[in-house]
Amino acid sequence: MAKRPTIEDIARLAGVSRTTVSRVLNHRPDVDRATRKRVLHIIEQQSYVPSPAATGLAGGRNRLIGMLLPAFTWPIVPDLVRGITDILKQTPYELVLYSFNDEDLDRDRSDVVNRLLETQLTAGLLAVYPGLLATHLSELYRRGVPVVMIDDQQKHVTPWICADNVTGAYEAVRHLVQLGHRRIAHIQGPDDYLVSHERHRGYLRALAEAGITPDPDLILKGDFLPESGYAGAGTLLDLPAGKRPTAIFAAADQMAYGVLRAAEERGVVVPRDIALVGFDDDAPSAHVLPPLTTVRQPSYEMGKEGIKLLLALLAQAEADDLDTIPSNELPAPIPNPPTQPMVLPTTLIVRASCGAKEPSSLLAF
């Protein structure tokens, strides 16, 4: 994080204690006019921006964590929020959610984030699959705003948590290879999401290991939503005999549901005529027909680790700007927050849609 003036710097330049600077910042009346004027002049001269977390704590407010979500309807959201709230209930912080509509996924919504920060009610930001917002959030982090991202970051600047998407995709496709498939199609997620590229890398790695040359006709773009899976499956299933895939790896379970619908409409039976594997292990995946083989990502754990990291950043911001910290309420500060991701493992869940023969595997709900 770029060096910015601290409350100690302002106190030293103004010739006062940090307690006096804190009183000026919080509009306390017990500071004489001349001292207040001198401190404010130094603050302006040094372009000092007090930590939102610190000023909020001193004033008994600003105990909100802003959580940016791609959409409330995304299936991973309940487990993420459950992990976050299980940690937050042990602290004085509360969570405020802001969700983008599915139609906003391709738009730059940095203006929304700026308006949220301008209210000065949010101590820090937890961003889930930020997509186009990642660049703006990274810049805010450089300027001192506590930000943690959960998955999907193009540049490794802010602290962030992610699932091991590459290995998860690799294991899914390797499983299809082990079942005898050679023509394995892949319906990708949108380009704006790092997870799309990582899952594609895992797919390519499994093919390369098996000596299979990727067929461009079998790699299609999707958007993580059922309709794009439906459209992609239609294109693949309508290929001429001999060109058609024998298996499909969809980069999200939601797209796999669209594949199932397209197959049913064409009289194609999964897994007899084509095998199918998804990614995410959304709740319905154990109950669709046939039950979906998929890669389970640790959404609950990602939520827990993400909010723990953000709370530690807030503790550091408060330690920089406050005389005292209630040590029983906050985690230990992080002097040098990690910029490499915390990568959490995924798990291959084998069910009926891939055509696996092991009866017990079909019970992996």
For residue 19, the domain's CATH number is: 1.10.260.40
Locus of tokens 């949220």: 116
Buried b (16+ CB within 10 A) or exposed e, 95-130: eeebbbeeeebeeebeeebeebeeeeebbbbbbbbb
Do residues 171 and 251 share a domain?
yes
Do residues 280 and 353 share a domain?
yes
Do residues 292 and 224 share a domain?
yes
Residue 196 lies in a domain: yes
Average pLDDT by consecutive 10-residue portion of the chain (365 residues)?
Answer: 73 89 72 88 80 48 79 79 93 84 58 69 85 82 86 75 96 98 97 91 98 97 96 97 95 97 97 97 95 96 94 76 42 59 95 74 34
Do residues 190 and 101 share a domain?
no
Do residues 198 and 252 share a domain?
yes
For residues 39 and 18, give the distance between their C-alpha atoms in angstroms, rounded to a whole number: 10
Residue 2 lies in a domain: no
Q: What residue numbers bound the domain in which 59 lies?
A: 53-158+299-344
Residue 83 lies in a domain: yes
Do residues 359 and 333 share a domain?
no
Q: What three-state secondary structure class fits 299?
A: helix
Do residues 183 and 206 share a domain?
yes
Do residues 293 and 190 share a domain?
yes
For residues 184 and 207, give the distance between their C-alpha atoms in angstroms, rounded to a whole number: 9
Do residues 244 and 284 share a domain?
yes
| Element of type H or E holding 211 | none
- Report the predicted TM-score, pTM, of the whole model to 2 decimal places: 0.74
Do residues 254 and 323 share a domain?
no
